[in-house]
Structure 1
Amino acid sequence: MNRLILPFVRIFRFYYDGFSSMSWWGKRVWIIIIIKLFLIFIVLKIFFFPDFLHRKYKTDKQKSEYVLEQLTKSK
């Protein structure tokens, strides 16, 4: 069991040591990057990519049939 956990602990320590010894400027840059990623993946998904299938169809079978129909439909 220890052999499985040890690599993850070493990776965590590597990043923890790197971020804790980072300069003030580097920490600010990472904060900006994290905020931008949050905006891209969370806010934009909520407002611009609504769950179309959930609103239109009730069951998983109906959803899968619709997706299959759209994928195999010839134009």
Structure 2
Amino acid sequence: MNFLIRIFRFYYEGFRSMTVGKTLWLIILIKLFILFAFFRLFLFPDFLGQRFKSDEEKSEYVIEQFNRQRE
């Protein structure tokens, strides 16, 4: 446990003393959020939610697809 605390403090102190780095990390995090939000909304539609109404139908379809790939 002491080892994890030392690692946390190492990164915390290093990040706290940054000036330009904080701005760069903020830009990186904003870009990642926008990227994943775009992927989720436009590239990965709710396939199961559109085709099946109940959780049981969804699970049966997924199990069927897994079994098909094994054959």
- 1:21 CA drift (Å): 2.3
Give the structure-2-normalised TM-score. Answer: 0.69
| Residue 59 of structure 1 pairs with residue 54 of structure 2 | yes
Give the structure-1-normalised TM-score. Answer: 0.66
Counterpart among 5, 18, 24 of residue 22 in structure 1: 18
Matched position secondary structure for 1:73: helix
String of CA shifts for 1:4-51, please: whole Å, max 9, x gaps.
Answer: xxxxxx887765544332112x12210121012102322211110011
Q: Which runs of 5+ in 1 are unaligned?
A: 1-9
Question: What RMSD over aligned residues (CA atoms) do the two structures have, in Å?
Answer: 2.6
Identical residues among aligned pairs (%) = 55
Q: Which runs of 5+ in 2 are unaligned?
A: 1-5
Tell me, in whole angstroms, the C-alpha distance in 2 between the residues paired with 1:49 and 1:19: 34
